[in-house]
Structure formats: structure tokens, C-alpha cells
Amino acid sequence: MATPINLGFARIGAKRELKKAIESYWSLKTTAEQLLSTARDIRKRHWSWQSEAGIPEPPSGDFSLYDHVLDTAWMFDAVPSRFRDLNLSGDLDLYFAMARGVAGQTATQALEMTKWFDTNYHYLVPEFTGAENFRLGRNPQVEAYREATALGLTARPVILGPVSFLLLGKARQTHADRAALLDRLLPAYEELLRSLAAEGAVAVQIDEPVLATDLDDAARALLTKAFTRISKAAPLKILLATYFGPLRDNLEHALHLPVHALHLDLVRGLEQFDDALQLAPKSLTLSLGLIDGRNIWKADLTRALELAERAADRLSGDRLMVGPSCSLLHVPIDLSNESALPPDIKDWLSFGRQKLAEVVTITRALNEGRSAIRAELDANRDSLEKRRRSELVHNAGVGTRLRAIRNTDFARTKTFDERKPLQQAALGLSLLPTTTIGSFPQTEELRRERARMRKNEITAEEYEGFIHQEITHAIREQEKLGLDILVHGEAERNDMVEYFGELLNGFAFTENGWVQSYGSRCVKPPIIYGDVTRRGTMTVRWWQFAQSLTALPVKGMLTGPVTVLQWSFARDDQPRRDTCFQLALAIRDEILDLETAGCKAIQLDEPALREGLPLRKTDGPEYLRWAVDAFRLATAGVRDATQIHTHMCYAEFNDIVESIAAMDADVISLESARSQMELLEAFAGDRYRNDLGPGVYDIHSPRVPSSEEMLGLLKKALAVIPAERLWVNPDCGLKTRAWQEVTPALQHLVTAARSLRQILSGKAGRI
Ligand code: GLN
Ligand code: ZN
């Protein structure tokens, strides 16, 4: 008998119940007991959904109040000393202190946060000094297992594997040796497994997602050591879960680890399927990740079933499991909560609960024969066929236009050196131009008016009048501050992707399609279901209004094609590259319309460019090629005198600086204040030759830096970038800040730029 499984479920709740409970606890409106009781209710509900769907051993321990990597550190007592010294009243507050830091006189910094592999989920980075005494300090796993048992369920505990845990962490102070750390860590894992077995567990899932990344021999040896040890710790059947990509050079190694079963992501890693079937030892059960845990499309059941049947031909039925490709953490919970999606489109989708039904359907066909699911297969084929043929999806004009793209469409007609003087003349620029990244504070009032507009409580004209007021305010402030290139302030935008998605064809929006981003924060990614076209101009009227108020140049402001793609659920019926190019063409039209309206500087933000990098180094160049091409396709249609800006947020740029240079934006602004300009090193020498604005104002903090401090940062920047190519700007957009912080901070920024101009012209001081 093949078994249907699930690797993990979303925690946040179908209507974000957990978010609300956590934030209410943080703001002291509710007690710890109330929070824990809501969390229990959510777990109970999610377990019952899973078991009703037909998953016999739903996962336990996959829930978290913040993040599962933090939970692992917490469980094994890897609590950095700065938190231990805090003397907080309760355990829960210590846990949240690690997640969020503690404000106060001697502020305690939270654990760092970073992206969970190539998803949009963020985990907290465990810190290792090398002197840890890992121990099973707390046992939330046994508690969760008991909770499930009390509900009459047999759960399969899900545990982050020891090697992934260590490799995801970072060694502070000392370069703690991974092998030595593993030796210290394994006894704690052994104890955990023994405690679960003692509780009655028969199987556990241990996740080692690092197996889908580039590993060296030493790291593979750590896996062997870890699994050899923990497989002997207790009589538990271990399901080793891998996901997010094919194992490639790690496949053979993984197949021979001493575990009961190995889970493979066959959505992203179908290429490993045949090898896995061939090479799997006789004793190994294979778990087939056939249903996409990263995207929201209905599965092709016939195709998934064919794969499952091929596996069943080679392995006997009881050596087979069927599941989603990865945890369902990365998709919204329940499609049935969507009432506003166009019915045609809704029929093509599948969220967490629907995906479990798909898993169970495939497994039934394996166990009972295809005839048992005839109706489901027919309905599925029918729905897929409708999607394939739908006029909502296909727009012949888009295809024609894509095929007609020529090489020259990707390139500006003149080189940067030739363009620069033309642009300086057009914009009236001199040394060290000052500008901002685009958004100005989104006030309470602004959010309120937008909500009222959406509820039809105010008319479109009233809303527009309100936005005009905001733009006017932003322009007047910037003029007073003495900035050189102004922005309209993005008051009309709720979100830099959603705003454009709503104005483009090919996008759909959900009411409850929330996915956890980090902690209590969720995002509701748009769904790109069809060929992308522009219904009309998207930003021109706001820009025009702003420009009508001032003689200074106002920058046009757009989100780049790669970022829109990265932060949406993308089509799975064509390569991501194609979707990205479609977006690029729509944006290209908008850029040209801005230019025609008289806009002389246009910024295309690409904060997600780097995060789109694939997990494996060897896959990087291909992605970067089309991502850079998409940017160039969007921007290269402008005249030489039109200045193209781009912006990227925090990122290590060292390994991609050639690609950034290849984008050929005239100016790039980056976050660099927080790193004290360290990030700039990547741009030294002639690796990058265009203009650059390293942020001198850290907008993530309410602190207002002095002009001396910003001047200091600018002087540091001069060591890398010559003054003729240097811009002066904040780290990022200002929408999360308040005007009373922004106004003085920008005043200091302009003062710093002016002082440096004076110094450089020899009129004051020396560098
Ligand atoms: N233009 C956007 C803003 O200023 C850029 C934000 C971003 O890159 N994250 O808000
Ligand atoms: Zn930014």
C-alpha cells in the first residue's frame, strides 16, 4: 500500500488567526494563555483538516509561534548569552526576544533573519559560538505529539535535521568548527528521538533541505555521521525529507543514508526521478513529492499518476509514499475561502487543503486502480484543458510581440559615457546629486482613505484629490529640503507589486491567499495566470501631476519585471523567463509613455533580483542572463538623454556585480548605510562603471543620523567610487517612516552633500 503523506502545514491560519493572536499578545492586549490557546485551536483545526482529507499520519511539530529554525535553537537551548542575561519574566518572552530583539537603553539585538532557501519565507539565523552545550532544554516536539495523540491522531513529528540546522546557522566570534558542533549537537537529537519513541511515536520526518544545495564532501560526511548516529538512537522509522530542488551530486549519498524513507521533490527535481528509481537500495522507501508545495496551480493528476505508477512498477507498493513537493507552509490554506476570484480562474487553482486532496487521490489510484478515481481524473483533465485553451490566458498579440523582439531592443543606442553628459544637461545636474528612493511616509490617514476608497465609501475623485494633496505635500517638502531630483512619493501605492498587478491584464488577486513571510508577517502574492498586457498607463498621471507642481525634475517610479515575478505566484505553463519578458514589455511601454510625457529620469526598482538566484551555483548564470535581459528590455527603449535609475535593497553584491553592471542602468542606488559602506567594496575598480548612490541614511530605524555621520559615510564611499559618479540618497524608500523623522534626516543628507561639494571644490576642509 502506498501512503499519502504531508510534510508540513501552514501555521498562520486560513484567516491569519495566529498573526492576530501573536500581535495582540505583543501589544499586551491578551495573555500568554490566550495566545497559546489560540495556537492550540489552530493546530487542532489543521490536524482535523489533514486527517479528514485522508492523511493517516499528519505532521506534528511543524507549527511555530514564529519560526521553526528558531524553535530548533530554542529546543536545543542554543540561546545566545545576550538573551539569557535579560531576565525576562516568562519563557515565551525570551522566545520572542530572540525573534524580535528588545528595545531599551541597552537594546538587545534579535537574531538575524534571512531567506529560507529560495522561498519568500524568512528564518532566524541561529548563532553558534562553538562552546554550546546543546541539550534538550525544552521539548515542544513531545508536547505537540501528545496534543495530537489526545485528539486521537497518530502524528509524524517533523524535525529540522542537524546538518541543515548547523549549516543554516552562523558562527559568531569564533569560527566554530561544523564537525565539532555536530558532535555536541547529536546527543541532544538522540535524546529528542528517544523521548518521541517513549511517547509512542513510530515514525519521524527529519528535514535536510541542504541536500538540494551545493555541498562539499565534508558536509556530506556530516550527514552520514548524523544519520548513522540518530538512526540508532530509537526504534523510529525516519523519513528523510529533501525539497526545493533535485539532489543531483548529493542524490546517491542521500539514497544510502541509513533511513527508512527518502522524500524527493519531483516538481522542481523531476530530473532525479529515474536515477532515484534505479539507484534506490531495496530497503529504502521513496516518498514522491508530486504536488507543487510552492505554487497554487491545480496539479496535472494524470501526469502525476503516471510518475507514481512508474515508481510503483519498480518498488513494491509499501515502499512508496506520495506527498506534496515540500511543506505546505508556502501556499495559502484554503481556496474555498475565495469568493471574488473569477470562477474560471478559481477552477485552475489549488491551495493547501486542495493539495492534500490531490495527494490522496493519486495514492488511491495507486492502491485501488485508476478506476477508483475516474471521476476525479476526468474533472481534472477537463479543468486543465480549459486552462490550456482559455482566452483569459492567451493573448496572441503578446506572443507575436515576444517573437518580434530583436537584439537591439535590449541595448541603449549609446554607451554610458556618451549618455551621461546628455542626461546631466537635460536634468541640470552637477556634482553629487541628491535624490530619494521613491516612497514618502504612508500616513495613517492615507491608509484610511485607501481603505475607504476600496469600500466605495469615497468616490474615485475624492481619493484622487487626496492623493494629489499628498503629492503636493511631498513635492513642497522636497523643494524646501533642496533635493536635486524629486519623486512624487508613491502615495497611491499600497504595495510595489500589487499596485502594478492590479493595472495589468493577466493578474488575479485573492482575499485570503496569505503566506507567511516571517513571524507574524504575511504576504498575499498576486497570481499571474495569463499573458501580461497593460490596460493603459499606470503611473503617468501621478507623475504628470507631480511634475506640474515644480520646475525641478521628478523621477518616474516603477517596479521591475524580475521583482514583480519573484513576488507573485507565477504561471507554471511557460518558463519564468517568458513571463518576465512579458512583464518587461508592459513596463517598457510605461517607460516610453513617461518619457513622452516629459519625464527625464525613470527608476525601475529591482530589489528581488538577487533573491531570484537559484539554489545551485551552476544554475546562476542562466537566471542572471534572462533577469538582466528583462531589465534591459524594459529600459533600453528610451532616448540617450533619459536617465534610467534602478534600486536594490540589502544584498551581497560581490558575486553578481557583473550582472548589475550588465543591466546598464545609468544610476543604481543601494542599501549600504547599515553595513557602513562595506557592501560597496563589490563595486570597486572597473567592475562597475556607471553612477552609484550608496545609501547614507538607514531607513529601517527611527533614528535620525546627523549630517556629520552621513558625510563620514560619503567619504568612505569616495574610497570606492569617484565623486563624479557618486549620488547621495537614503538606503531605501521612506514609506515606513514618519515625516518628523524623514524631514530632519533628509535635511542632514542635503547638508552632507553640500559640505562634500564644498570640500571637493577646495573651498572648505580636506577629505
Ligand atoms: N521605490 C520603492 C520605495 O521607495 C522601492 C522599495 C524597495 O525597493 N523595496 O518604496
Ligand atoms: Zn530598497
| Grid coordinates of 62 | 511543524
Flag the least confident range among 266-270, 312-316, 418-422. 312-316
| Catalytic status, residue 748 | no
299 confidence band (pLDDT: 50, 70, 90): very high
- Which residue, among 67, 119, 61, has the nearest Cα to 244 in the 3D structure? 119
3-class SS letters over 744-759: HHHHHHHHHHHHHHHH
Nearest to 35, CA basis, from 9, 53, 59, 17: 17
Which of 371-380, 504-513, 678-687 has the lowest average pLDDT? 678-687
pLDDT at 175 over 60: no
Cα gap 145→458, rounded to integer Å: 51
pLDDT computed for residue 173 by the predictor: 47
Q: Enter the DSSP assignment of 678.
A: G
The protein residue with its alpha carbon nearest to ligand 1, atom 5, reads 733
Q: Which atom of ligand 1 lies closest to the CA of 439?
A: 4
Cα of 323 from ligand 1 centre, angstroms:
38
Amino acid at 230: I
Distance 731 CA to ligand 2 centre (A): 6
Query: Residue 52, SS3?
Result: helix
CB 528 within 8 A of CB 390: no
| Rounded Cα gap, residues 277 and 290, in angstroms | 15
pLDDT at 688 over 50: yes
* Cα 78–Cα 294–Cα 535 angle in degrees, nearest 5: 130
| 227, 258 contact by CB (below 8 A) | yes
Calpha distance 51→693 (Å, rounded) = 54
678 against 414, higher pLDDT: 414
Q: Give which of 54, 97, 104, 53 is closest to 74, Cα–Cα.
A: 97
CB under 6 Å to ligand 1: residues?
437-439, 490, 496, 557, 605, 607, 647, 649, 732-733, 735
Separation of CA 437 and ligand 1 centre (Å): 6
Angle 460-481/540-548 helices, nearest 10 degrees? 50
In testing the pocket of ligand 1, which one of 486, 496, 563, 649 has its CB within 8 Å of the most ligand atoms? 496
Residue 174: what pLDDT? 47
10 Å Cβ neighbour count for 375?
9
Backbone angles phi, psi at 153, to 5 degrees: -110, 150
Starting from the CA of residue 669, give the closest ligand. 2
For ligand 1, what atom is nearest to the CA of residue 496? 2
pLDDT digits (tens, 9 = 90+) for 474-508: 999 999 999 999 999 999 998 999 999 999 999 99
Which ligand 1 atom lies nearest to the CA of residue 557?
A: 1
DSSP 547-599: HHT-SS-B-EEEE-HHHHHHTSBPPSSS-HHHHHHHHHHHHHHHHHHHHHHT-
| 759 CA distance to ligand 2 middle (Å) | 29
Q: Which atom of ligand 1 is nearest to the CA of 436?
A: 4
Q: Which ligand is nearest to the CA of 649?
A: 2
Q: Which ligand is nearest to the CA of 646?
A: 1
Catalytic residue among 253, 256, 700, 748: 700
- Expressed in angstroms and rounded, the spacing between residue 528 Cα and the centre of ligand 1 is 21
Burial of 86 (0-12, 13-18, 19+ CB in 10 A): middle
Asked if 258 and 228 touch (Cβ cutoff 8 Å), the reply is yes
Q: Please write the tens of the pLDDT for every residue from 197-215.
A: 999 999 999 999 999 999 9
Return the residue whose CA atom lies nearest to atom 4 of ligand 1: 733
Alpha helices by DSSP H, listed for 428-569, are 444-454, 460-481, 498-501, 540-548, 561-566
How far the first Cα of the chain sits from its last, in Å, is: 76
Distance CA 402, CA 621 (A): 22
- Ligand 2 centroid distance, CA of 693 (Å): 12
List Cβ neighbours of 752 (8 Å cut-off, separation of 6 or more): 696, 707, 708, 710, 711, 714, 728
Mutate to test the pocket of ligand 1, among 439, 478, 559, 742 (most ligand atoms within 8 A of CB): 439
Distance CA 494, CA 226 (A): 47
Closest ligand 1 atom to residue 735 Cα is 10
Please tell me the distance from the alpha carbon of residue 174 to that of residue 132, in angstroms, as a whole number.
12
Of 316-320, 394-398, 576-580, 682-686, least confident by mean pLDDT is 316-320
For ligand 1, mutation pick of 732, 735, 746 (most atoms within 8 Å of CB) = 732
Instruction: Report the separation in Å between the CA atom of 605 and the middle of ligand 1, taken as the mean of its atom positions.
Output: 7
Rounded CA gap, 672 and 281, in Å? 51
Nearby residues of 10 by Cβ (< 8 Å), 6 or more positions away: 46, 328, 329, 331, 332, 333, 352, 515, 516
Q: How far is the CA of 610 from the centre of ligand 2 (A)?
A: 12
Ligand 1 mean position, distance from CA 430 (Å):
25
Of the listed ranges 103-117, 222-236, 566-580, the one predicted with least confidence = 103-117
**Domains along the chain with CATH numbers:** 57-241 (3.20.20.210), 437-670 (3.20.20.210)
Tell me if 478 sits within 8 A of 730, measured CB to CB.
Answer: no
Mean pLDDT of the chain: 96
Nearest residue to 683 (alpha-carbon basis) of 746, 725, 626: 725
pTM of the predicted model as reported, rounded to 2 decimal places: 0.96
Q: List all residues 6 or more positions away from 359 whose beta carbon is below 8 Å from its beta carbon.
A: 4, 5, 6, 53, 55, 290, 291, 322, 323, 324
Name the closest ligand to CA 436: 1
Q: Whose CA is nearest to atom 10 of ligand 1?
A: 733
Instruction: Please choose from 436, 442, 490, 543 the residue to mutate so as to test ligand 1's pocket, defined by most ligand atoms within 8 A of CB.
Output: 490
- Predicted local confidence at residue 678, as pLDDT: 87
How many Å apart are CA 101 and CA 109, to the nearest integer? 5
Q: What percent of the chain has pLDDT over 90?
A: 92
Q: Give the residue, out of 437, 478, 648, 669, with the most ligand 1 atoms within 8 A of its beta carbon, to mutate for a pocket test.
A: 437
Closest ligand 1 atom to residue 605 Cα is 8
pLDDT-derived band of residue 109, with 50, 70 and 90 as boundaries? confident
Q: What is the pLDDT of residue 90?
A: 83
Query: What letter does residue 761 receive in the DSSP assignment?
Result: T
Ligand lying nearest the CA atom of residue 563: 1
pLDDT(633) > 50: yes
Q: Tell the residue nearest (CA) to atom 1 of ligand 1.
A: 438
For residue 303, give the H/E element and its range.
helix 301-314
Which ligand 1 atom sits nearest the alpha carbon of residue 647? 8
C-alpha 737 to ligand 1 mean position (Å)? 13
Ligand (nearest to CA of 560): 1
Nearest residue (by CA) to ligand 1, atom 6, is: 733
The band of 88, judged by pLDDT with boundaries at 50, 70 and 90, is: confident
What pLDDT, on a 0 to 100 scale, did the predictor assign at position 172?
56
Percent of the chain predicted with pLDDT > 70: 98
Name the pLDDT band for 632 (thresholds 50, 70, 90): very high
Question: Residues 601, 604, 607, 613: is their CA dihedral positive or negative?
Answer: negative
